[in-house]
Amino acid sequence: MDPSISTLAPVNTPDTRNEQQRLPVTGIILAGGAGRRMGGADKGWLDWQGKPLIERAIAILHGDCTDIVISANRNMDRYAQWGHPVVSDLTADFQGPLMGLAAGMHAATQAWVASIPVDSPCLPQDIVRRMWQAKGGHDLVVVRSADHWHAVICLCRRALLPQLQRYLDGDGRQAQGWFQSLSLAGLTLPADLLRNCNHPEDMT
């Protein structure tokens, strides 16, 4: 069963890269969390330096991805105003980012997908291209700091969706758990580029 998809007329997004330079990658923005540590806020619409976090996430993916999918579980029509497909989890109780990744992979049009959380505005603008260059012959690239994996900042083949779905169907929810048996490469970045906006004080 494929997730539901909605789109509306696009909000204008500056086109900063020629189509021929984009990679065969569908970018997935994970914006479907419950935002519990933010008082239940839909984090994509929180202000970051004068703009909503969703706008920053789109800007990060826009230059190098052929297309973008937004994974969200609230405010679907509002997200769709950015002009990208919006998908929701197959479950309605916020079971974690892997559910959003699977929903995005179902909707992806490209052979590869790259996912980022909506609440990581400090990621470098070329994060997708960096992961692409790091993949070598691997099926998956996962970003990490010196001492911590950031498992949902990743690039992987869309063909891994059945493996991810089996993990989810077996009640697997830990982001690092699903790729333990996969061929992967790690991309190490400074911790300050990987910060998440998990609490109100992180927004400053």
19, pLDDT greater than 80: no
Element (H, E) at 28: strand 23-30
Most confident of 109-118, 139-148, 175-184, 189-198: 109-118
pLDDT in tens, 36-48: 555 557 888 988 8
pLDDT of amino acid 13 = 46
DSSP assignments along 64-102, one per residue? TEEEEEEE-SS-HHHHHTTSS-EE--SSSS---HHHHHH
The confidence band for 21, taking pLDDT boundaries of 50, 70 and 90, is confident
- Domains annotated on the chain, with CATH: 5-11+19-198 (3.90.550.10)
**Predicted structure pTM score:** 0.85
What percent of the chain clears pLDDT 70, i.e. is strictly above it? 80
pLDDT in tens, 110-154: 999 999 999 999 999 999 999 999 999 999 999 999 988 998 999
